[in-house]
Structure 1
Amino acid sequence: MRYQHCPKCGGHLSLEETQDVNRPKCTSCGFVFFQNPAVGVAAILIRDRKVLLGRRIGSFSGTWCIPCGYVEYTEDVRDALVREMKEETGLDFELGDIFAVQSNFHNPAQHTVGLWFLAQAEGDPIPLDDLDQVDFFSYEELESSNMVLAFPTDGLVLKSLKDKDFID
């Protein structure tokens, strides 16, 4: 449990076991603090049977990922992804179908649920915001390099892209 005080009344939060789940509950007003996962979105951009990846700066610095970001509270998931991709690659993305949905447990401070969309975009990506490099890679290039992925679920998505013959 990360929080000690109730966001409603300021009372003390204690853990209550409910249906085999520990949830913080206020000892003063009874408010139950549901700690739900955040939603992350990622765009799968494929060109010449290679997928776009970016090298991160800031959190998970030096590792690579499928370009991604968080959905803000007031945003639609598709709008959030278009915004994030503009911020990270400078490109205007057109989103297709959802390719994958995964629960991400790599960060103990924040459980997330990720949505990976197939996408298209014209032009050359440039690294912006959370990225210092962007490039297209085949699965074979990923496997033969020393490239470290930031998020284990990206590895699952990339393997699925290879298995479904989207990338080489």
Structure 2
Amino acid sequence: MKIPLRYDFCPKCGGKLYAETIEQQDQPRCSQCQFIFYQNPVVGVAGILLKDGKVLLGKRNNSYQGLWCLPCGYVEWKEDVEEACKREFEEETGLRVELERVYAVHSNFHNPQQHTVGIWYLMKEMGGQLAADDDLEQVDFFSYQQLPELAFPTDRKVLDQLAADGLLK
């Protein structure tokens, strides 16, 4: 499998990286110390807040500008995934939440430069003031029949499942 080399130099010795096929997949290998630089997925988290059969979505203002998504973000180094989800949700929506449970986990392949694994949490509102911030320019609740154009195919999978489960009307 052809994977784009995201880095040119080895993080251990500074040698030039080249692509080598290992177990049927290209991996960056150092030309000097032979270190294999495995390119592992990054973990993302997203929040599902439902109200009266509608779901809260945010309109993006940077990457994927103008498209909508479930409020989301990346897990920081040494950060618990649940804390990351609450932090990202509050940063983007102004709402404090409590996580109820993991609803879905999917691999995201929409960005050829970065494979991510997403964890979607069902949550309930605990306070705060709803307002778009951080990576979002607008937030609103949508029914399943009125969903706007989405940024991420995996959000569509999650929203379809919410509708199939009777949680999103």
TM-score, normalised relative to structure 2: 0.94
The letter for the 1-side match of 2:121 is: F
The amino acid that maps onto 1:163 is: A
Structure 1 position 10, deviation (Å): 0.7
Map 1:96-115 → 2, pairs under 5 A = 96-115=100-119
Q: Select the residue among 77, 87, 96 that pairs with 1:83.
A: 87
- In structure 2, the residue matched to 1:165 is 166
- In the alignment, the residues of structure 1 paired with residue 79 and residue 131 of structure 2 have an alpha-carbon distance, to the nearest angstrom, of 24
Query: 1:16 and 2:17 equivalent?
Result: no
The Cα RMSD (Å) is 1.0
Identical-pair percentage: 55
Question: 1:104, 1:84 → 2: CA distance?
Answer: 18
In structure 2, distance between residues paired with 1:29 and 1:122: 52
1:2 is displaced (CA, Å) by 2.1
CA distance in 2, matches of 1:105, 1:77: 20
Instruction: Report how many residues are paired.
Output: 164
Deviation at 1:116?
0.2
Q: Aligned ranges for residues 54-133 of structure 1 at < 5 Å?
A: 54-123=58-127, 124-133=129-138
Match of 2:139 among 125, 134, 159: 134
Q: Which runs of 4+ in 1 moved over 3 A?
A: none
1:68-115 CA distance string (max 9 Å, x none): 000001101001111111110111110011111111111112111100
In the alignment, structure 1 segments of 5+ residues that lack a partner are none
Unaligned runs of at least 5 residues, structure 2:
none
Q: Return the alpha-carbon distance in structure 2 between the equivalents of residues 3 and 141 of structure 1.
A: 41
Match of 2:30 in 1: 26
Give the whole-Å Cα distance in 2 for the aligned partners of 1:76 and 1:21: 30
CA distance in 1, matches of 2:167, 2:84: 24
Equivalent residue of 1:101, what SS?
strand
Q: CA deviation at 1:14?
A: 1.4
Amino acid at match of 1:141: Q
Contact kept in structure 1, 2:98 and 2:126, CA below 8 Å = no
TM-score of the superposed pair, with normalisation by structure 1? 0.94
* SS of aligned partner of 2:7: coil
2:82 maps to a residue whose letter is R
